[in-house]
Amino acid sequence: MDRRPVRRRIAVATAVAALAAGAFALGAGAAGADSRGTSGKNSAKTATEAQVLGLFDQWNAALRTGDAQKVADLYAKDAVLLPTVSDNVRTDRAEIVDYFEHFLRNKPVGTKVESVVNVLDRDTVIDTGVYEFALTDHETGAKNTVKARYTYAYEKQADGKWLIVNHHSSKMPES
């Protein structure tokens, strides 16, 4: 009986097993790297454009509460806010709350005019474009609209919540 076919089958079976084990290890390593130590449902999903656009709706709804603390809750602890109607860069929660305490007196209601969403990875998204704010002067009741450019950079936190890490808003130069 010739032993070469048996040896060949053993060699092929060993090679296939080694390739399968390597592919499994590679897949497990990639999955492990992707999960970044989180478990379950948030580990590998990237945000959709609709979800990112919905983050503005949450922010806008927080504005309508009139509560600066609720608005600030949507910002990360180390967020940076370059606000529309202030010359000061806001780099901590107290400064962000202070800005919104003043801004909210004008009962702002935002409407997006144009949006461009960039999903950078499963934990980082950017929403940039143009929005308008209907404002009511808290002293006179006069109404006006401010058109501004905006950029929101969001990061998904370990608990799956998206927070603003950078927010820039500036009046349109033509306005």
CA 171 to chain centre: 23
Distance, CA of 131 to CA of 8 (rounded, Å): 69
How many Cα atoms sit within 13 Å of 163 on the Cβ side? Answer: 18
Tokens standing for residue 80: 């940076």
The confidence score (pLDDT) of residue 29 equals 39
Domain assignments of the chain as residue spans, ordered by start: 4-35, 45-171
Length of the chain: 175
Q: What is the pLDDT of residue 45?
A: 80
- pLDDT computed for residue 9 by the predictor: 37
Between CA 123 and CA 120 the distance in angstroms is 8
Which residues make beta-bridge pairs with 127? 117, 152
pLDDT class for 32, splitting at 50, 70, 90? very low
Which tens digit of pLDDT belongs to each residue from 114-169? Answer: 999 999 999 999 999 999 999 999 899 999 999 999 999 999 999 999 999 999 99
Candidate CATH numbers 3.60.60.10, 3.30.1360.170, 3.10.450.50, 3.40.50.2300; the one for domain 45-171: 3.10.450.50
Whole-number Å distance between alpha carbons of 32 and 38: 9
Q: What CA–CA distance (Å, rounded) separates 36 from 85?
A: 38
- Say what the pTM is: 0.74
Which tokens belong to 18?
């080694």
pLDDT reading at 76 higher than 80:
yes
Return mean pLDDT, the chain.
Answer: 82
63 C-beta neighbours (distance < 10 Å), count: 20
Give the CA diameter of the chain: 104
Quote the tokens at residue 14: 């060993």
DSSP state of 90: B
